[in-house]
Amino acid sequence: MIEVSGLTKQYGSRTVVDDVSFALDPGTVTGFLGPNGAGKSTTMRMMTGLVPATAGTALVDGRPYRELPNPGAVVGTLLDASAVHPGRTGRTHLRLLASAIGVPASRVEEVLGLVGLEDAARRRIGGYSLGMRQRLGIAGALLADPPVLVFDEPANGLDPEGIRWMRDLLRGHAARGGTVLLSSHLLGEVEHTVDRLLVIGAGRVVADAPVADLLGADGTAVHAADPAALARALEAAGFHVQHGADGALVVPGADPGAVGAVAAAGGHVLTDLRPVQRGIEDLFFQLTAAA
Ligand SMILES: Nc1ncnc2c1ncn2[C@@H]1O[C@H](COP(=O)(O)OP(=O)(O)OP(=O)(O)O)[C@@H](O)[C@H]1O
């Protein structure tokens, strides 16, 4: 559906997106993560023809976005929610968009309902909150019910209820066979929304894998009746032991079975033994620190 290959952007002598390649498949939500300035927006803008690429290609159904007969019907974009006329009402804004992409006006009422803006539709956009503007931007992206959604920071300005609503919307879209790319710096939010993570640091892809692979267990936490004795036994067995909260011993990189075996061999009484999940934030900092 979407094939990005060797995508590169230079501004003067600065390379802000550097040889980025990835593929997005129908039925998946991909989270595009990276620190500020990593190149997420620029990549999404190149994918949708808003910014010319210095090198590389981004193909939607085998063609560059700008060569699609009706791009809005194929890719719904949310790239700059503030780029709307503040004097227009939400409904007028959507009606103009609808006519530009050949969508009947009746669909405007449907998307207003979908994003929960029915009551605000008659008000001028200039008086909308940031979250309402995001909802309006999402309504615009959904007008033609396109199979692909490319959303830059869609959670911006949304309250927790709005973030949950957006998560359900994007998951529902993928469940119906759609393809979703969303960028975010709200790492905890992305963790529960996406199937895949595409992580970018300083313009380069530093990880591209299913969430489960990237966020797997990363060590063991253990409580023992005699923690000092267990720590000595684990170190004697070659493990590196750290002291965690509440008297827990944390053994990075070890699975619970290996820690349990050392304890059993030495006759140590354990009161708790569990894998330590690597959080998305840890992963993010590990991956991007080197970039
Ligand atoms: N028009 C431009 N001219 C020069 N430099 C630019 C331009 N647009 C973006 N950049 C630079 O490119 C780099 C990547 O910016 P980009 O907005 O793509 O990052 P991002 O990952 O989306 O960051 P954020 O999370 O802050 O939005 C930044 O250093 C930015 O300053």
Each residue's pLDDT tens digit, 123-132: 999 999 989 9
Of 163, 281, 274, 168, whose CA–CA distance to 215 is shortest? 281
Separation of CA 227 from chain center: 40
* 201 ligand 1 Cβ < 6 A: no
> Taking the mean position of all CA atoms in its chain, how far away is CA 211?
10
Pocket test of ligand 1: the residue of 10, 11, 46, 54 to mutate, having most ligand atoms within 8 Å of its CB, is 11
53 and 190 share one domain: yes
Domain boundary pick from 188, 212, 236: 212
For residue 286, pLDDT over 80 is answered with no
Minimum mean pLDDT among 36-40, 56-60, 219-223: which range? 36-40
Most confident among 3-17, 152-166, 243-257 (mean pLDDT)? 3-17
pLDDT for 279 beyond 70: no
Distance (angstroms) between ligand 1 centre and the Cα of 15 equals 10
Quote the ligand 1 centre to 36 CA distance (angstroms).
8
How confident is residue 280, by pLDDT bands cut at 50, 70 and 90? low
pLDDT in tens, 238-251: 999 999 878 899 99
Could you list the residue range(s) of the whole structural domain that residue 279 is in? Answer: 217-289
Q: What is the ipTM of this complex?
A: 0.95
Split at pLDDT 50, 70, 90, the class of 289 is low
In order of 238, 247, 257, 276, the CA distances from 231 in angstroms are 11, 11, 16, 17
Distance 214 CA to ligand 1 centre (A): 26
Q: Domain tally for the chain?
A: 2
77 and 221 assigned to the same domain = no
What's the pLDDT band for 82 if we cut at 50, 70, 90?
Answer: low
Q: Select from 121, 130, 126, 120 the least CA-distant residue to 86.
A: 126
Please report, for the domain that includes residue 274, its CATH number. 3.30.70.100
For residues 205 and 222, state if they share a domain: no
7 shares its domain with 34: yes
Q: Establish whether residue 137 lines the binding site of ligand 1, counting it when its CB lies within 6 angstroms of any ligand atom.
A: no
Q: Residue 231 pLDDT > 80, yes or no?
A: yes
Rounded to the nearest angstrom, the distance between the alpha carbon of 187 and the centre of ligand 1 is 19
Q: Are residues 62 and 203 in the same domain?
A: yes
Distance of CA 17 from the midpoint of ligand 1 (Å): 9
Q: Ligand 1 pocket test: which of 17, 40, 198 has the largest number of ligand atoms within 8 Å of its C-beta?
A: 40
